[in-house]
Amino acid sequence: MRMEVRRRPTTLAALALCGMLASGCGGGESGQETEAGPAEDAATEEGTRLVPPAPEELAAAADQGEQLFQTKGCVGCHAIGGPTMSAPDLQGVTERRPFAWITSMVTAPDSMTRDDPEARALLGQYLVQMPTLGITEAEARALYAYLHGAVPSS
């Protein structure tokens, strides 16, 4: 699947794609696009599936996460310790947000800005809805591992 990095087209493409796939965005049967939002998933599954990666996993998955950060277009909106763009600087995000929260934000940002007060506050600040990019939970773990260890680029 091709994903453009640019802001508006990505959003529109993501929305169009979501509309076309009856099962919703974010990968199959988990139905992350429907009423029972990811915040609820996170709450019920906490302590099992959404256990933060251990140090070995963080180290092992960071490279894959870095690649995903480029190929999925995150880099088009987010800096890591760089100049603030159209989206929050992700430096230190793994310290200021819980793992489950970050996972929900990356896999189903639209539900988060609707249902989660902190995500909604970010939307109020940046006035851009982060697009749903079809990130799986495994990919979100790798992205977390990358963000956890990422060194500022500037």
Residues forming contacts to ligand HEC in the complex (CB under 6 A) are: 7, 10-11, 72-74, 76-78, 86-88, 90, 93, 97, 102, 105-106, 109, 113, 119, 122-123, 126, 128-131, 133, 135, 143
Closest CB to ligand HEC among residues 31, 92: 92
Closest CB to ligand HEC among residues 15, 128: 128
CB of 11 to ligand HEC, least distance (A): 6
Closest CB to ligand HEC among residues 4, 40: 4
CB of 44 to ligand HEC, least distance (A): 21
DSSP secondary structure of 119-143: HHHHHHHH--PPPP----HHHHHHH
CB of 129 to ligand HEC, least distance (A): 5
Closest CB to ligand HEC among residues 34, 86: 86
Whole-number Å distance between alpha carbons of 109 and 102:
9
Among candidate residues 5, 3, 28, the one with its CA nearest the CA of residue 16: 3
Closest CB to ligand HEC among residues 74, 108: 74
Helix (H) / strand (E) containing 20: helix 7-20
Whole-number Å distance between alpha carbons of 78 and 75:
5
CB hemisphere CA count around 151 (13 angstroms): 1
- The count of other CB atoms within 10 Å of the CB of residue 32 is 25
CB of 85 to ligand HEC, least distance (A): 8
Cα distance from N-terminal residue to C-terminal residue, the chain:
31
CB of 151 to ligand HEC, least distance (A): 16
